[in-house]
Structure 1
Amino acid sequence: MNCKLKICHAKLSKKNPPSRVVDQIIFSGSISCRQPHVLVIPFPALGHVAPLMKLATKIAEHGIDVTFVNTEFIHAKIIASMQGKAENSSSQIMLVSIPDGLDLQADEREDPHKLMTEDPQADTECTACVIADISVGWALEVAEAIGIARAAFVPFGPGSLALSLHIPKLLDAAIIDPNGFAVLNYGLISLSNEIPAWNRNEYTRSFPTEPNVQKIFFGSTCAAVQVFKISKWVLNNSVYELDSPACDLIPSVLPFGKIVEWAPQENVLGHPSIAWFLSHCGWNSTMEGLSMGVPFLCWPSFADQHHNRNYICDVWKIGVQLLPDENGIITRQEIQINVKALLKNDGIKGNSLKLKEIARKILVEGGSSFRKFDSFISQIK
Structure 2
Amino acid sequence: MGMTTAAPHVMVLPFPAQGHVTPLMELSHRLVDRGFQVTFVVTEPIHALVFGALRPPAAAGGSALPDGIRLVSVPDGLADGDDRRSLSRFLDCLSRSVPGYVEQLIRETKVKWLVGDVNMGMCFEAARRLGVRVAAVFPASAACLGTLFKVPQLIEDGVFDEKGYPKRHDSLEIAPGMPPVFPSQMPWSIDGAVEGQEVGYQLVSGNTQAARVHAETIVCNSFLDAEAAAFELFPGILPVGPLSADAALLKPVGQLLPEDTGCLRWLDAQPDGSVVYVAFGSFAIFNPRQFEELALGLELTGRPFLWVVRPDFRTAGDGGASKAWFEEFQARVAGTGMVVSWCPQQKVLAHRAVACFVSHCGWNSTMEGVRNGVRFLCWPYFVDQFPNRSYICDIWRTGVAVSPGEDGVVTKEEVSSKVGQVVGDEGIAARARRLKDAACRCAGEGGSSHENLNRLADLLRE
TM tier, smaller: 0.7 to 0.9
Which secondary structure state, in structure 1, belongs to the residue aligned with residue 438 of structure 2? helix
1:281 has 2:361 as partner: yes
TM-score, normalization by structure 2 = 0.68
CA shift for structure 1 position 276: 0.4
In the aligned structure 1, how far is the partner of 2:190 from the partner of 2:66? 49
**What one-letter code is carried by the residue in structure 2 that aligns with 1:152?**
A
Contact 1:71 1:98 in 2 (8 A): yes
Report whether the alignment pairs 1:44 with 2:28: no
TM-score by length of 1: 0.82
> Where does residue 92 of structure 1 map in the other structure?
68
Given that residues 113 and 133 in structure 2 are in contact (C-alpha distance below 8 angstroms), is that contact kept between their aligned partners in structure 1?
Answer: yes
Closer, same or farther: CA 173–269 of 1 in aligned 2, 3 Å: same
CA 218–151 in structure 1, closer or farther in 2 if over 3 Å, else same:
same
Q: Secondary structure at the match of 1:156?
A: coil
Q: Structure 1 residue aligned with 2:387, among 299, 307, 325? A: 307
**Which of 371, 391, 399 is the equivalent residue of 1:319?**
399
Cα distance in 1, alignment partners of residues 102 and 424 from structure 2? 61
C-alpha distance in 2, partners of 1:175/1:314?
23
Contact in 1 for aligned 2:147/2:181 (Cα 8 Å) = no
Deviations 1:18-54 (A, max 9, x none): xxxxxxxxxxxxxx97121100111111111111111
Over 3 Å counting, the alpha-carbon distance change for 1:196 and 1:364 in structure 2 is same
Change in 2 beyond 3 A, CA 1:212/1:94: same
Deviation at 1:180, TM superposition (A): 1.7
Kept in 2: contact 1:238–1:258 (CA 8 A): yes
1:69 aligns with 2:41: yes
- Deviation for aligned residue 1:233: 1.1
Q: Could you tell me how far 1:112 is from its partner in structure 2? A: 6.9
- For residues 95 and 206 of structure 1, the distance between their equivalents in structure 2, rounded to whole angstroms, comes to 32
Partner residue in 2 for 1:211: 194
Q: Secondary structure at the match of 1:232?
A: strand
User: Cα distance 1:65–1:176, how it changes in 2: closer, same or farther (>3 A)?
Assistant: same
For 1:160 and 1:109, the matched residues in 2 are separated by 22
| Alignment of 1:350 onto 2:430 | yes
Deviations 1:267-286 (A, max 9, x none): 11111110000000000100
Deviation at 1:160, TM superposition (A): 1.0
Q: Distance between the aligned counterparts of 1:102 and 1:157, measured in 2? A: 29
Q: Alpha carbons of 1:114 and 1:49: their partners in 2 closer, same or farther (altered >3 Å)?
A: closer
Give the C-alpha shift of residue 86 in structure 1: 7.2
Q: Report how far residue 306 of structure 1 moved.
A: 0.6
Question: Root-mean-square deviation (CA), in Å?
Answer: 3.2
| Aligned-pair CA distance for 1:343 | 1.5
Could you give the per-residue CA deviations for residues 219-274 of structure 1, whole angstroms, max 9, x where no partner exists?
11111111221101112111122102212333532210111445610111111110
- Residue 222 of structure 1: aligned partner: 205
SS of structure 2 residue aligned to 1:243: helix
CA distance in 2: counterparts of 1:108 and 1:158, whole angstroms: 25
In the alignment, the residues of structure 2 paired with residue 271 and residue 47 of structure 1 have an alpha-carbon distance, to the nearest angstrom, of: 22
Q: Which residue of 2 aligns with 1:78?
A: 50
Q: Which residue of 1 aligns with 2:127?
A: 143
Asked if 1:329 is matched to 2:399, the reply is: no
Residue matched to 2:113: 129
Deviation at 1:195, TM superposition (A): 1.2
**Partners of 1:99 and 1:379 in 2: how far apart?**
30
Letter in 2 for 1:71: T
Question: Are 2:143 and 2:230, in contact at CA under 8 Å, matched by a contact in 1?
Answer: yes
Name the counterpart of 1:57. 29
SS at match of 1:198: coil
SS in 2 for 1:63: coil
- Tell me the equivalent position of 2:302: none
8 Å contact from structure 1 (residues 63, 91) kept in 2: no
Note the C-alpha offset of 1:308.
Answer: 0.3
TM-aligned CA deviation for residue 179 of structure 1: 2.3
Partner of 1:233: 217
Overall identity of the aligned pairs, in %: 32
Between the two proteins, the alignment pairs up a number of residues equal to 345
Match of 1:163 in 2: 147
Q: 1:114 to 1:323 in 2, by over 3 A?
A: closer
